[in-house]
Amino acid sequence: GQNIDQPTEMTATEGAIVQINCTYQTSGFNGLFWYQQHAGEAPTFLSYNVLDGLEEKGRFSSFLSRSKGYSYLLLKELQMKDSASYLCAVIGSNYQLIWGAGTKLIIKP
């Protein structure tokens, strides 16, 4: 079967750094997305990785290791507005997205 695992919930402090992990087992791999979803809103695109390594975009970075079936999203200098769910999604062999259940990130002052 196909499976994407993320922690259900994480808590971090404003100004700190947090790493959200995602592990996947899929039939085929054509890339991995991270999306942010605030409560009651639509998911919005954060990052896309298809090659191994780190992609940096401002305060957010995303890392991929295809051999380990592993990715993480790194958020630096956390702000209260970063409180949201973070969704990991893998493009499988049929080019359809397989979604993790998401990680709810709670930021405390």
Partner 1 sequence: IAGITQAPTSQILAAGRRMTLRCTQDMRHNAMYWYRQDLGLGLRLIHYSNTAGTTGKGEVPDGYSVSRANTDDFPLTLASAVPSQTSVYFCASSDSADTDTQYFGPGTRLTVL
96 binds partner 1 (CB under 8 A): yes
Nearest approach in angstroms of CB 105 to partner 1 is 16
Other residues' Cβ atoms within 10 Å of the Cβ of residue 84? 20
Q: Which residues contact 50 (CB under 8 A, 6 or more apart)?
A: 30, 31, 32, 64
Window 69-88: contact mask with partner 1 (x via CB under 8 A): ------------------x-
Candidates 100, 103, 105, 107; binder of partner 1 (CB under 8 A) is 100
Judged by CB under 8 A, which stretch of 17-25, 51-59, 76-84, 89-97 contacts partner 1? 89-97
- DSSP 3-state assignment of 69? coil
90 binds partner 1 (CB under 8 A): no
Closest CA to 54 of 41, 39, 40, 70: 70
Judged by CB under 8 A, which stretch of 11-19, 43-51, 66-74, 76-84 contacts partner 1? 43-51
Query: Could you give the CA distance from residue 60 to residue 48 in angstroms, rounded to a whole number?
Result: 12
